[in-house]
Structure 1
Amino acid sequence: MQQDGRKMTFAPVRIRDRSGPRQLVREVRNVKAASDTMLAWPGRGSAWRTAAEVLSEALYGRVGAEEARAVFVAAAREAGVLMESE
């Protein structure tokens, strides 16, 4: 059964949101937001694919929020959207 990914929280990850005319900084704080955010990213490399799989598993309660955060950070770094404080 799918869990509410908004309740699977983790320490904020700051990313650059380039989806609009201006570059914004967005804080991602939970598994659901991480999963939704990745859908708009320009590149989909190996870290993106790994993160997509792990985030999906997290939504079903098979992976913890901290592991999901770690792969999300790696994917954000690969995509060039991570605000480098991680």
Structure 2
Amino acid sequence: MPPLRRTIVGDAKNACHGSMMVEAFAAKETVKVPYVSQGKGGYKTAILRFQAISATTRITFYSAYYHNKQHDYGHMCGPVLDDVSVFPTH
């Protein structure tokens, strides 16, 4: 079985709200994790299965859909990643 990568995507409970997205890339696989924030500290778990293509395989995270706080246009908002784990499956 290929390795498994698990992560939690959410917001920082800082009044940032709206659509956010994190993309994860590993080997030849990709996953897009949309998250609609209410600005109250919610989260969701995402899983990406991939087959390593060499002794070292890069895992990349990309954040899309940055925006501003509703009442503070000088404050950028985006998703938060937490508890990123990579482990082999058998």
Band of TM-score, shorter chain: under 0.3
Q: Which structure is richer in relative contact order (CA contacts within 8 A, separation 6 or more)?
A: 2
Larger Rg: 2
